[in-house]
Structures are given as structure tokens and as C-alpha cells.
């Protein structure tokens, strides 16, 4: 067969080299990967949960009064969920302001919708901190926190990305990277559609009213 000095491949001509086979497998993998990604994106943008695992699900958290609050407490109303944290320097306060303004624009229909802010930084965002924070945006804004495990669970259900980002050596020297999406939930507790969080109050109001009766 081959000796260490024999560099010439000794396979019969016409057989594709092993490298090509791996390449082909790689391409097939890539093809299906893209296909899956496409299906995921279509599902995401269409807001349909008929394909793949559904967005949302049951959760058990704590409200700003320190009392248990679950997904069942939102039944009977539409809800808009937003995940963020109170120390957020820009995106969270901007989004919560826009959401509050969007609900104002809806007029009487706003009564159908409950805005909910869920922290992804439960270590700092205690019920007391959350209470102070949500009151600054709207008396109707529900603030929810929980244990690391409870927050991790609800974030997974809604496919929320979040991760601490160190800014120094102290225990509080961190910010949180996080995805920014508004989730519209129906009165039955089922996910209806994602709403663009950066679209501005007018657009958020328009997107919301399309789904309201």
C-alpha cells in the first residue's frame, strides 16, 4: 500500500477522494441547516406555532408586592410581555416608554391589554426594585421577578437570549446583554405574535390593534 515516503494516493482513478465525500456531507448538512433556519424564521415572522416547539408556556414568578404571579393570572386579557432589566441604560426604558405610549394611543382598547415587564436580572431586580421601576412608566405595567431558575425557565420558553456582561471587578459591575422583542399573548394564554420592540409607539399601537378584536 503506502510507505511514509510514498505521498501519492493509491486509490483507483474515478473514486472521489475522501475529502470530497466529507465536503458533500458538509454541504448536505449546510443545506438542511439553512432549510431549518428558513423554517424557523418563517415560523417566527409568521407568528405561527404550528411548526416546531411553541413559543411561550406556563410560568411561576413573583410580582412587585412579593406575591406569586403565574401565567394563569394573565388569562382573560391580552398581554404584552417584555424581558429586560431595570439597570438597562437605554433599550429597556426606551421600549417600555414606547409600549406605554402605544397603549395610550389605543384608547379604550388599551383596557384589553396588560403590559408585563419580566426581569432577566433577578439578582438585582428584587420585587422592591421592580416596583419603583415599573411605576415610572405606567401604573398598569406589571413587573415580575423570580429565582434564577424561574427566570431561566420563562426565558427559555419565550426563547429570550440574555447573558451578563462584566464591566468591572465588583459584584454589581455588569450589564446584561439581552434580546429585545415584545410578545403578544392572547386571553387564552397562547402566544399570538412577536411585535417589534424598536418600531416606535405609533407602529407598536398599529401592530397591536391588528390583533385586537
Specify the DSSP class assigned to residue 13: T
Scanning 16-24, 37-45, 81-89, 144-152 for contacts with Ni ion by CB under 5 A, the matching segment is: 81-89
- CA–CA gap between residue 60 and residue 152 (Å, rounded): 11
Residue 169, number of CB atoms within 10 A of its CB = 6
Helix runs in the chain, H state only: 18-46, 91-105, 127-135, 148-157, 201-211
Question: Residue 19 corresponds to which cell in the numbers above?
Answer: 475529502
Q: Which residues contact 81 (CB under 8 A, 6 or more apart)?
A: 116, 118, 158, 182, 183, 185
Q: How many residues bind Ni ion (CB under 5 A)?
A: 4
Q: How far is the CB of 91 from Ni ion (least distance, A)?
A: 4
Question: Residue 149 corresponds to which cell in the numbers above?
Answer: 431558575
Scanning 32-40, 50-58, 78-86, 167-175 for contacts with Ni ion by CB under 5 A, the matching segment is: 78-86
Q: How far is the CB of 118 from Ni ion (least distance, A)?
A: 12
Q: Please, which residue, 80 or 88, has the CB nearer to Ni ion? A: 88
Q: Please, which residue, 81 or 92, has the CB nearer to Ni ion? A: 92
At residue 70, what are phi and psi to the nearest 5 degrees? -120, 175
At residue 199, what are phi and psi to the nearest 5 degrees? -85, -15
Q: How far is the CB of 130 from Ni ion (least distance, A)?
A: 14
Q: HSE (CB half, 13 Å, CA atoms) of 136?
A: 12
Q: How far is the CB of 39 from Ni ion (least distance, A)?
A: 29
Q: Please, which residue, 120 or 142, has the CB nearer to Ni ion? A: 120
Q: Is 182 one of the binding residues for Ni ion (CB under 5 A)?
A: no
Q: Please, which residue, 164 or 186, has the CB nearer to Ni ion? A: 164
Interface mask toward Ni ion for 83-122; x: CB under 5 A = -x---x--xx------------------------------
Q: How far is the CB of 95 from Ni ion (least distance, A)?
A: 7
Binding site for Ni ion (CB under 5 A): 84, 88, 91-92
Amino acid at each position: 500500500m503506502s510507505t511514509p515516503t510514498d505521498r501519492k494516493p493509491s486509490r483507483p482513478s474515478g473514486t472521489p477522494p475522501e475529502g470530497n465525500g466529507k465536503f458533500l456531507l458538509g454541504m448536505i448538512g449546510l443545506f438542511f441547516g439553512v432549510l431549518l433556519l428558513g423554517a424557523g424564521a418563517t415560523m417566527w415572522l409568521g407568528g405561527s406555532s404550528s411548526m416546531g416547539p411553541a413559543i411561550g408556556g406556563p410560568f411561576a414568578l413573583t410580582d412587585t408586592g412579593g406575591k406569586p404571579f403565574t401565567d394563569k393570572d394573565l388569562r382573560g386579557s391580552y398581554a404584552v410581555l417584555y424581558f429586560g432589566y431595570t439597570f438597562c441604560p437605554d433599550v429597556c426604558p426606551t421600549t417600555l416608554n414606547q409600549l406605554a405610549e402605544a397603549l395610550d394611543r389605543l384608547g379604550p382598547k388599551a383596557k384589553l391589554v396588560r403590559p408585563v415587564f419580566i426581569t432577566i436580572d433577578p439578582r438585582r431586580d428584587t420585587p422592591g426594585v421592580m416596583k419603583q421601576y415599573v411605576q415610572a412608566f405606567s401604573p398598569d405595567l406589571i413587573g415580575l421577578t423570580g429565582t434564577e431558575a424561574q427566570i431561566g425557565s420563562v426565558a427559555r420558553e419565550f426563547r429570550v437570549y440574555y447573558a451578563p456582561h462584566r464591566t468591572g471587578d465588583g459584584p454589581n459591575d455588569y450589564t446584561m446583554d439581552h434580546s429585545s422583542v415584545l410578545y403578544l399573548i392572547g386571553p387564552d394564554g397562547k402566544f399570538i405574535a412577536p411585535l417589534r420592540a424598536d418600531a416606535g409607539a405609533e407602529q407598536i399601537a398599529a401592530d397591536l390593534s391588528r390583533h385586537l378584536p
